[in-house]
A and B are shown apart, each in its own frame.
Chain A
C-alpha cells in the first residue's frame, strides 16, 4: 500500500498539470492573504471577520473548483493502469484493497501538502493558522478524492473519466451548494449526502464528510474487487 501511495504521491508532483495547479493554489493563497490585509483596513472589518477573509480566496478556489482540480489530476488513477495493463503487475503482487487505499493515500497526501503549504503562506500574513478552516478544507478534499477514485474504478476508459470528471467537477459544487440551501422538499434531502452542507456551520459537523468519504471509498473498493484486470 505504501509503495503504491509513494509512487502516486511522487508522480503527482511530476506532471505539468499538477505543477500548474500547485502554482494556482499558492498564488491564490498569497494574493488572497495579501489583499485581505488591505481589505481589512479599508472595509473596517471586525477582528473575527478579518480572520476569515485571509482564507476566503483559497476557500473559494477549493469549494468552487476543488472537485474539478482533483478530478483533473486523478480521474484516471485506477483505470489508466487497467487500460495500460500495468495493473496486472500490481494485482499479482498485492491485494486490491492495498491498491485502492495506496492510490487514495498518495493523492490525499499530495493535496494535504499543497493545502498545508497554502495555509502556511496565508499564515505569513495573518500570523496564525486557522486549524478549523484547514480541517474543513481537508475534509472536503478527502471526499473529493474518494469520488475521483470511485469514478476511476467505475468507468474503465480514461478518456471517458476525463470528460465526466470535468463535468462532475463543475456540476457537483453548484448542485452541492444549491441542495444545501434549497427549500425544495424533493431535493433538499440530498444535502445530507453532499459535503458542502456540512461546511456551512462553524461546528464539527464537517467530520461527517470523512464518513461520507469512507462510504464512497468503500464503494470503490467493492467495485474494484469485482473488476477484472
Chain B
C-alpha cells in the first residue's frame, strides 16, 4: 500500500515555479530518503504534504486519505526544518502540549520514555532555551514520534548532532521502520541516506530526477565498474594471451606483476576474468570493486 502518493503536485510563488509537478509514491514501511542540493525544493515538498504550505495545484494522499485533511494530522509526525521551540518550556511540557494539540494527550512517563529514545533523558527539566542546536533536533524528533504516528516526516534529522547522537537517531529510525512505521526523510548527509534508506529520490530544481533503490541508482548512474585484482605472478607463457584477452574484456587496463585493474561493463565480466586467471594458472587473492557512492552520484547529478 502506498502511504504517500502525489499527482502532479506543483508549487509556485508568483510566477516562479518551485516544484514542477511531482508524481511520487512511497510504500508502507519504507525509509524513504529525499536528496537534493540547498534550494532543490525538498523542504517545500514536505511542507506541502504536512500542511505547512498549500500546493498551487495537483493532489496528494497520505495513508490513503486525500490531503490536506485534518483527520490525517493524528496519524503523521512531522519534524520541520529549522525547528524552533518555546524557550520557556522544558522538554516534557513541550511534548505534552504538542500531543494535546493532536488530541492525543500523553503521560509524563511516556514523555520520559520518548526523550530517552532520542537521548535527552538527562535534560528533562532543562528549559529548551538552554538547549543546544543538536538537542533541539532531538526534541524535534521526539515530538514527531510521541503520538506514535504511522507516517513520520523528518527534515534533516541529524544535522548539527554529534556522531554518537546521530548513530542513536539512525538506530531509532531503523526501530521505527521495524515497528511498521514509514519514515520520509531528507538529509544532506549522503552516508546517512545510503545506510538508512530503502528508496532514494534525487531532487533537482523542483523536480525528481531519479528515484529507486541504492542498487538501481548505482546502475543508472554508473554503467561501468572499476575492478582491481591482486593475483600471483602471471606465467610468461600465458602473459601475452591473457593481456590481449583482458584488453578485450574491459578498458583502461593497468597491470603490474601482481595486480591488474580495468573497467568492465558488468559484474558478469568479473566472473569471466577470474575464470580466465584461473585457466592461466594465476591465483586470484583479492578482487576490489569500486562502486559509485551516493555522494559521487549526487555530485554527478
Provide the main secondary structure of the chain A interface.
loop
- Are B70 and A95 within 8 A (Cβ)? yes
- Are A229 and B101 within 8 A (Cβ)? no
Kindly supply a per-residue 1/0 record for chain A positions 1-25, scoring 1 wherever the CB is within 8 Å of any chain B CB and 0 otherwise: 0011001000100100000000000
Binds B, one of A39-47, A82-90, A145-153, A156-164: A82-90
- List A contacts of B88 (CB < 8 A): 11, 14
Provide the main secondary structure of the chain B interface.
loop
- Are B80 and A92 within 8 A (Cβ)? yes
Kindly supply a per-residue 1/0 record for chain B positions 63-91, scoring 1 wherever the CB is within 8 Å of any chain A CB and 0 otherwise: 00000001001001010101111101000
Whether a CB of chain B sits under 8 angstroms from the CB of A135 is no
* Complex: A229 Cα to B76 Cα, angstroms: 18
Whether a CB of chain A sits under 8 angstroms from the CB of B98 is yes
Nearest CB of chain A from residue B86's CB, rounded to whole Å: 6
- Whether A93 touches B84, Cβ cut-off 8 Å, given contacts A228-B52, A228-B53, A229-B52, is no
Whether a CB of chain A sits under 8 angstroms from the CB of B187 is no
Contact of A88 among B52, B86, B97, B100 (CB under 8 A): B52
Q: How large is the interface on B (under 10, 10 to 19, 20 to 34, 35 or more residues)?
A: 20 to 34
- Are A84 and B84 within 8 A (Cβ)? yes
* Complex: A85 Cα to B79 Cα, angstroms: 12
Contact of B102 among A7, A14, A93, A229 (CB under 8 A): A93
* Complex: A84 Cα to B129 Cα, angstroms: 13
- List B contacts of A86 (CB < 8 A): 84-86
Instruction: Report the nearest A residue to B11, measured CB to CB.
Output: A228
* Complex: A91 Cα to B102 Cα, angstroms: 10
* Complex: A71 Cα to B73 Cα, angstroms: 32
* Complex: A91 Cα to B53 Cα, angstroms: 9
* Complex: A7 Cα to B70 Cα, angstroms: 21
- Are B52 and A94 within 8 A (Cβ)? no
Nearest CB of chain A from residue B237's CB, rounded to whole Å: 73
- Whether A94 touches B101, Cβ cut-off 8 Å, given contacts A228-B52, A228-B54, is yes
- Are B51 and A89 within 8 A (Cβ)? no
- Are B102 and A89 within 8 A (Cβ)? no
Nearest CB of chain A from residue B219's CB, rounded to whole Å: 37
- Whether A93 touches B73, Cβ cut-off 8 Å, given contacts A3-B100, A88-B80, is yes
Kindly supply a per-residue 1/0 record for chain B positions 1-25, scoring 1 wherever the CB is within 8 Å of any chain A CB and 0 otherwise: 0000000000000000000000000
Whether a CB of chain A sits under 8 angstroms from the CB of B50 is yes
Q: Given contacts A85-B82, A93-B98, could you give 19 more A-B pairs where the C-beta distance is less than 8 Å? A: A3-B101, A7-B97, A84-B84, A85-B83, A89-B85, A89-B143, A91-B51, A92-B50, A92-B52, A92-B76, A92-B78, A92-B80, A93-B101, A93-B102, A94-B101, A94-B103, A228-B52, A228-B54, A229-B52
17 pairs from A and B in contact (CB 8 Å cutoff): A7-B97, A84-B84, A85-B82, A85-B83, A86-B84, A88-B52, A88-B78, A88-B80, A89-B78, A89-B101, A91-B51, A92-B50, A92-B52, A92-B78, A94-B73, A94-B103, A229-B52
**Interface of B toward A, CB cutoff 8 Å:** 50-54, 70, 73, 76, 78, 80, 82-86, 88, 97-98, 100-103, 143
**Interface of A toward B, CB cutoff 8 Å:** 3-4, 7, 11, 14, 84-86, 88-95, 228-229
